Structure 1
């Protein structure tokens, strides 16, 4: 008689769950629960514990698929995935999180009044949310938080992440079929022009009364009156939250020998509200930091700039598609080129050249969601990573396709991008860390 795959999976799940729980116990770390007093995340877990946890997630997904069977698992996924995302997006947009006290409860009528929506709409949204363990019904009329909804109530950065990922990229991703039909079908490669993305196609007819070619225009200009640019402010929060969850601060600090750079001027291209520049200015008092981003970011930058670095951190409004007019010793682009095709990335690097002098450095800090495709052990590398980790990379890869006709790239591919930008760039160092999924690419301008 064949061994039951369900029983074998259950045994693996039990073993992995026991291992992860035991490791948490050994390190004195609490387990997560659905109660509002649950820890928001597993702080302090080791790399080994992280891999164990993600492998457990893989096995749980396999169990979910196999218990239902192939057809029903697909039907159930398709039936739920868009309503799930839409529900979360509505709850987040109207801030249902603040409508319920974290340590108490609220009635449906109270919630509806606080979010300014009809009670029928508020009730139906929350009733679906409870199936996702977002909120919990205390009675027929009262609702309280679970740990998942409380996490959103307590963390504005997490709210900004939901807004940036779902509200901005969700609809364009659903337009990918039309964009691929229109611009890429029958061709040997994906269209490269930013005007031929799913995002541009979705916004080309102005579904909300305005037309946008790219998401940066959308972030900068969406909204009327005082609300104009509200998405940009959310995006700044989102970037700050990414710094937190990916521990990017340590990556930025270790990206270069900042101490050895001495009295250098650093331009943080697309530096948002200046989080990284403030960090570097505090750690390395000889550095002078200049943050460059769109004009709408400046008020956020000025509001958040601490007094102790005001003499060494400044903001210059700049469109990175325009020629660079600020001279510096080092130019840093963090999580910028990741959003663009190779052609557009090269164009952005080319805009720096008017300001560059021999010996200037350009540092590119990027999330790397793919291993190097040319390496002989690529299959072994892929197989060594849990599917749930690989899915993070492939999900981002598809999002980049919809928004920018870009893709996840291995670190080594940046050599070709710098070369395409200008032959005078010399890539002198590439540091890729598989545990952080980030890479630092350092190029010198030879002039």
Structure 2
């Protein structure tokens, strides 16, 4: 049998593919009555919903656009252009975000001068000018004319002015996880080079190299940094920002739907639920409102308590409470169900095992642990072959691989498939019986339910 020859991509073939996919996505959005987005400041800041078929079309479109960019530049120049722009782009966005350029410019579409923005940000006018000149090339803000010394919002910059959660995400990804990632090569050189496996020692992470004194402080891990950075009233500001970030993630990924469908909450009866690391209880408010049979205890670190007190709906407080708790300490609440949402994902196996073992003092026979997390390894989807995995657009796979590298830098951890998570539960205690697993290959989301057979 002759081999099937793969079509070689060209500028014209990719341009045609992009035109085809753009037309398809437009038709799909129109059929669903989803308002279009534009580059103008008054545009919706995101598609209000993105049905599954539209999502796949968009990711295929992204792959084709990236390939076209490479071919239009040429292999060599595309590398040069990427490395020349990537770090200044990220740095400019980080400055814009940390000094709140977003709210220095009216969101109604009118302009703000560089002097007005300098006053708002408390930065010198020449710094503001140079940052904005680059920001405009990234479609953050636009100038009324090439020589103007003022800017207006684009839809991209307006999105950050309108959505504090998006700003919190930029802060989290660029300012908190970015510096350790730049030290990842040095950490690998010092601690893993010549070894058969990546070191699992939490004192040998790129994060720890970054945070061993000096400008970034001395912290053991990113959670300690987030919880304690700052002085006086500013202490813990990163933790409060993280709560906003988690609220944004909830909306972006529709996590409330994942939580609501995780198990049969109504069929569980009148039960007590503990949400470990539950932030300010964003998902728990939805859960408690829909299922009045649930009594929920939200557990997180001390800095989150004030956010819960300020923001959690008062009409649900008779059934939802907040308890300060470190998840590595013995669990103090005897409950029927324990939820771990987007928690273990951020820890290596050894620490994940300790978190699960810390539940044991409170567990009673039949108690359930519901693991809901981002599982960035494609084996988690149940794909039976590498060919099936390749069918996923590279832009989707890249979400998992990018997170995998971030886990390496911060925790010496990795993205793990479902089978690995089953093993983590068994390593924690043989009495954890994994009874159900559901994984989504497109969103990387996984729900795993374990029953305590003590």
Kept after mapping to 1: 8 A contact 2:380/2:418: no
**Structure 2 residue corresponding to 1:105, chosen from 89, 111, 120:** 111
Q: After the TM superposition, which residues 44-59 of structure 1 pair with which residues of structure 2 at under 5 Å, given as runs? A: 44-59=49-64
What is the CA distance between 1:323 and its match in structure 2? 1.4
Q: Deviations for 1:126-180, whole angstroms, at most 9, x for unmatched residues?
A: 1110010000111421110000000000000100000111110000000101111
Q: TM-score, normalised to structure 2's length?
A: 0.95
What is the CA distance between 1:292 and its match in structure 2? 0.7
Is the aligned partner of 1:380 residue 2:418?
no
Q: C-alpha distance in 1, partners of 2:56/2:429?
A: 40
Counterpart for residue 179 of structure 1: 187
What is the CA distance between 1:250 and its match in structure 2? 0.5
Counterpart for residue 158 of structure 1: 166
Counterpart for residue 3 of structure 2: none
| Secondary structure of 1:204 counterpart | coil
What is the CA distance between 1:374 and its match in structure 2? 11
Q: C-alpha distance in 2, partners of 1:376/1:285?
A: 38
Kept after mapping to 1: 8 A contact 2:380/2:439: no
- Number of matched residues? 445
Kept after mapping to 1: 8 A contact 2:380/2:441: no
Q: Deviations for 1:31-85, whole angstroms, at most 9, x for unmatched residues?
A: 2211011121122332111111110110000000111111110011001111101
Q: C-alpha distance in 1, partners of 2:322/2:112?
A: 44
What is the CA distance between 1:102 and its match in structure 2? 0.9
**Structure 1 residue corresponding to 2:213, chosen from 205, 212, 226:** 205
Q: C-alpha distance in 2, partners of 1:25/1:428?
A: 42
Q: After the TM superposition, which residues 415-434 of structure 1 pair with which residues of structure 2 at under 5 Å, given as runs? A: 415-434=422-441
What residue ranges of structure 1 are gaps of 5+ in the alignment? Answer: none
Q: C-alpha distance in 1, partners of 2:380/2:245?
A: 30
What is the CA distance between 1:19 and its match in structure 2? 1.0
Q: Deviations for 1:409-447, whole angstroms, at most 9, x for unmatched residues?
A: 112221100011111111111111223321111111111
Q: TM-score, normalised to structure 1's length?
A: 0.97
Kept after mapping to 1: 8 A contact 2:432/2:450: yes
Q: C-alpha distance in 1, partners of 2:187/2:270?
A: 48
Is the aligned partner of 1:167 residue 2:172?
no
Q: After the TM superposition, which residues 183-198 of structure 1 pair with which residues of structure 2 at under 5 Å, given as runs? A: 183-198=191-206
**Structure 2 residue corresponding to 1:40, chosen from 45, 49, 58:** 45
What residue ranges of structure 2 are gaps of 5+ in the alignment? Answer: 1-6
What is the CA distance between 1:3 and its match in structure 2? 7.9
| Secondary structure of 1:133 counterpart | coil
What is the CA distance between 1:322 and its match in structure 2? 1.2
**Structure 2 residue corresponding to 1:123, chosen from 119, 124, 129:** 129
Counterpart for residue 230 of structure 1: 237
Q: C-alpha distance in 2, partners of 1:364/1:77?
A: 38
Is the aligned partner of 1:412 residue 2:431?
no
Q: C-alpha distance in 2, partners of 1:345/1:353?
A: 14
